[in-house]
Amino acid sequence: MNVLSLFDGMSCGQLALKNLGVKVDNYYASEIDKYAIKIAKKNFPDMIHVGDVTQVESKHFGADGFDTKIDLIMGGSPCQGFSRAGKNLNFDDPRSKLFFEFVRLVKELKPKYFLLENVKMTREHRDTISDVLGVEAIYIDSALVSAQTRKRYYWTNIPYIFGPINQHVILKDIIQTEGELKGSTVDERMVTNKGKAYCLTARYDGAVWWNSIERSQRTMIRIEDKVCFPEATKKGYAAVGVGEGLDLSYPTSTTRRGRALIEKAHCLTTISPNQGIINEKYNWRKLTPIECERLQTVPDNYTEGVSNAQRYKMLGNGWTIKVIEHILKNLEI
């Protein structure tokens, strides 16, 4: 089987094929990020990188060692222009237009199968992609197979694709133990320990108001066996215990909800995560690169060999491997 992976990143597609036991004769990868290429080559030294997707042409296949027949084209074109977390630039964003490079190569190379992944987007843009590719989008949340909520659309002509069965994986299942972390440098933040309810909101029973400086310092308060923090709910706060998580993307906000990570982490992004867990010392600790690998169902230390910042970035850009395995297992080779 010959595969062309566009926007290959750290080669998640190849990892999924390997896990499924699919024999790949040639794996061609288009990628420009040098760190992602380094990690992909570390794990798959025989893969063939073909450079920038805009420079890949069908005439290249059949010359200079390339095989003439591509059986599968897959990729996740850059999502910043489509993402609701971005600026909603959509098809006017140059990064979103790279989607049409995927379309061009599918039309030129005529593979038996194709697979495109992208973020949850407006119905208009989802339907536009469906019309161009001639298949309906399949919606899958990675939360079914991992401890991360990651909502994505998949467009493919691989037959019989339905959502995976819920594996009931929760955040506690992927957390590194203290033994695993021994000798590692972790980002850990102290939690104020108070015997009664001092907090950022006056809605606590017996709470007191603090001035803005003190409030910004007291974003997490331990009360008995829980760490409490402000939440825009009727109660005014939420609480998590050891092994549960907390998203500190907006640490001093009193107007946000959904920051407690009881069973699932939020979707990984390309920046160092502000998501963490409450450890046995009742301190907040940032998710480690290995824990983020586990959220993406990637083997431990798959991304080792570059800085942590680059590891977080490529994992945020990557695919949830078990979702891709679920789709590719229906390949009729």
Tokens of 246: 């907390």
Residue 108 main-chain phi, psi, to 5 deg: -75, -40
H-helix or E-strand containing 127? helix 123-133
CA distance 291 to 284: 15
Give the distance, in angstroms, between the CA of residue 299 and the centroid of all CA atoms in the same chain: 14
CA distance 331 to 160: 10
User: Strands 260-261 and 245-247, how do they pair?
Assistant: antiparallel
CA distance 257 to 238: 9
Cβ atoms of 176 and 291 within 8 Å: the answer is: yes
Q: Annotated active-site positions, please?
A: 79
CA distance 228 to 254: 12
Distance of CA 264 to CAs 24, 245, 268, 321, 324, Å?
A: 34, 8, 11, 17, 19
Give the distance, in angstroms, between the CA of residue 23 and the centroid of all CA atoms in the same chain: 26
5 residue type, one letter:
S
Mapped onto helix, strand or coil, the DSSP state of residue 283 is coil
Which residues in 220-264 belong to E strands, given as ranges?
221-223, 226-230, 237-240, 245-247, 260-261
Cβ atoms of 287 and 311 within 8 Å: the answer is: no
Cβ atoms of 192 and 208 within 8 Å: the answer is: no
Mapped onto helix, strand or coil, the DSSP state of residue 19 is helix
CA distance 40 to 319: 14
